Amino acid sequence: MKEFKGIAASDGIAIASAFRLTEPDLSFKKRSITDASDEIKRLYAAIDVSKDELLTIQQRTLEDLGSSEAEVFKAHGAILSDPELLNRIKSTIEKEKVNAEYALTKVTDGYIKIFNSMTDNEYIRQRSSDIRDVTKRVLSHLLRVPLVDPALIHHKVIIIAHDLTPSDTAQFVPSYVLGIVSDMGGRTSHSAIMSRSLEIPAVVGFKGRLADIKNGDTVIVDGSTGNVIVNPTEAQTDEYTQKQADYRQRKSKLADFKHQMTSSSDGKHPIIAANIGTLDDLDGAIENGAEGIGLFRTEFLYMDSNHLPTEDEQFNVYKTVLQKMDKKPVIIRTADIGGDKDLPYLDVPKEANPFLGYRAIRMSLDKPDIFRTQVRALLRASSFGNLSVMFPMITTINELKKAKNIFNQERIKLIREKVRVKPVKIGIMVEVPAAAILADQFANEVDFMSIGTNDLIQYIMAADRGNRMVSYLYQPYNPAVLRMIKHIIDACHDNNLPAYMCGEMAGDQTAIPILVGMGLNEFSMSASSILKSRALIKRLDSREMVTLANKAVTMASASEEVTAFVHQATNNVQ
């Protein structure tokens, strides 16, 4: 038995066997060969197994996730049947007398380069990421290094990973992936946020302490406390099975709050909305009684695809969200690509500080074709519900004006094309300190602001939100953060604008009393936090919370002091 303590990232308790998700080492050396026909045989054998494997994945993906996801694997199979590609690899082996691994990579790298340079042909460019994936699969068979396909997990497991990308997490089937444990990441890293949306218990930030866990070990994950137990004793298994039952019971009691309007004990009605990244998340949001969508992270549409989503593809998703929310307010954020959300098919140079780099609106304004496609899709969808749009990572007024300009130009074009568009409210994410400080000036340019605390905190405290080494500095209740938030909310209210929050702090049970006291108008959070937050707000008197918030911002530097103070002050109600 071994016990570990990590960062609690997604509530709930899971017990199952470990499944290690490791990035395979596909490195190889260039070798000279003497018998080309043997090498070609080896190549074709690897291609045949890859094709069989792709058929299986295609079938399973079709059953579990749907036809559009399965199409990707069909396209991969088609690449491996392309006679021109195969002939080129074959003749490289014959002419250069080199090993199959080298010939395969040389030829496919050549294709990828050419495709990436054809910037005016989107369809062709999309094929380069398919070729990259297919090359990896064939290489894995040539080198006999197994690839792990998260979509293929078909028994109940706890995933043990060094790092998890949001797209790995998106492929998990929640009925099989019962828990997640990872070395990297903090509570606000995007894979942690996604595990909350999928309601998969998760503990992160183990910094390399998971190396000893083997496939098949029994693992207990307590996503509420951050405890992970490997090969537990019988007594521990019993204890956690009981805790799991208690947790489920508490959760089912909260179901009473599903159809209630959010209301404080003195009759204030802040809105509790949900953050979503996919249509699956939307079902979770509706299931948990969201009063709106406060943040749709549209970059997940781009990340779940192997090509830039077309205008029609995006339009269909936005329209579905608006229709399913049935006139409830929906805020869709334009793509926030960059930071920890990479797009393999978009050739963006690696950066030393991606969170301070080429990201979100910065990229959108630099690649206006991609941005305009998204804006058109949003405007076309506007007539199907109650849509607001916001821009991420706005730092200067000039950026906002440029983004609004493009928005208006596309609106005019659509109206000229006789497409129905409804008025859309425009807002910004306030997540960069420069914008927060100038909130009063931004107020003249927008209809609402939404505070993105995940980024705002990392920039105020100069502490990378995914870096475990500095996670002690990631302090939502630090008075420096609280004062900044109060400043933004006050600036909104002084200018008759509503103030929203869509960072993870909005669903934080210690922060909520303070935010109610500051008069926040909308709390947007992971679906799994909605009901407990609604239950909490129902027990709070907003007038008492004003006093509490005013006191919290004047406290000394320690976050602990604020936490202890809030818990003490709200003890009778929490």
- 468 belongs to an annotated ligand binding site: no
Task: Output 78-84 pairs: Cβ under 8 A, ≥24 positions apart.
Answer: 79/127, 79/130, 79/131, 79/134, 80/47, 80/50, 80/51, 80/54, 80/134, 80/138, 81/51
* Shortest Å, Cβ 243 to ligand PEP: 29
Catalytic residues: 190, 502
Residue 359 pairs with which residues in a beta bridge? none
- Name the residue among 410, 338, 428, 345 with its Cα closest to residue 373: 410
Tell me if 514 sits within 8 A of 492, measured CB to CB.
no
Classified as helix, coil or strand, 523 is strand
- 539 belongs to an annotated ligand binding site: no
State the CB neighbour count (10 A cutoff) for residue 28: 16
Q: Which residues bind ligand PEP (CB under 6 A)?
A: 295, 297, 336, 431, 452-455, 502-503
- 248 belongs to an annotated ligand binding site: no
* Shortest Å, Cβ 162 to ligand PEP: 22
* Degrees to nearest 5, angle at CA 154 with 287 and 199: 25
Tell me if 126 sits within 8 A of 62, measured CB to CB.
no
Q: d(Cα 405, Cα 259) in Å, to the nearest integer?
A: 40
* Shortest Å, Cβ 395 to ligand PEP: 13
* Shortest Å, Cβ 300 to ligand PEP: 10
Give the contacts of 256 (CB within 8 A, at least 6 positions apart). none
Residue 504 as a binder of Mg ion (CB under 5 A): the answer is: no
Task: Indicate which of ligand PEP, Mg ion, none lies near residue 205 (CB less than 5 to 8 Å, by partner kind).
Answer: none
Window 444-473: contact mask with Mg ion (x via CB under 5 A): --------x--x------------------
Residue 299 as a binder of Mg ion (CB under 5 A): the answer is: no
- 94 belongs to an annotated ligand binding site: no
* Degrees to nearest 5, angle at CA 435 with 517 and 431: 65
At 552, the amino acid letter reads A
Q: d(Cα 309, Cα 312) in Å, to the nearest integer?
A: 8
- 362 belongs to an annotated ligand binding site: no
Nearer to ligand PEP, 111 or 477 (CB): 477
Task: Indicate which of ligand PEP, Mg ion, none lies near residue 230 (CB less than 5 to 8 Å, by partner kind).
Answer: none
- 64 belongs to an annotated ligand binding site: no
Nearer to Mg ion, 222 or 431 (CB): 431
Nearer to ligand PEP, 219 or 502 (CB): 502
Closest residue to Mg ion, Cβ-based? 455
* Shortest Å, Cβ 166 to ligand PEP: 10
Window 412-431: contact mask with Mg ion (x via CB under 5 A): -------------------x
Q: Which residues bind Mg ion (CB under 5 A)?
A: 431, 452, 455
- Binding residues for phosphoenolpyruvate, as ranges, are 297, 333, 454-455, 465
- Binding residues for Mg(2+), as ranges, are 431, 455
- Binding residues, as ranges, are 297, 333, 431, 454-455, 465
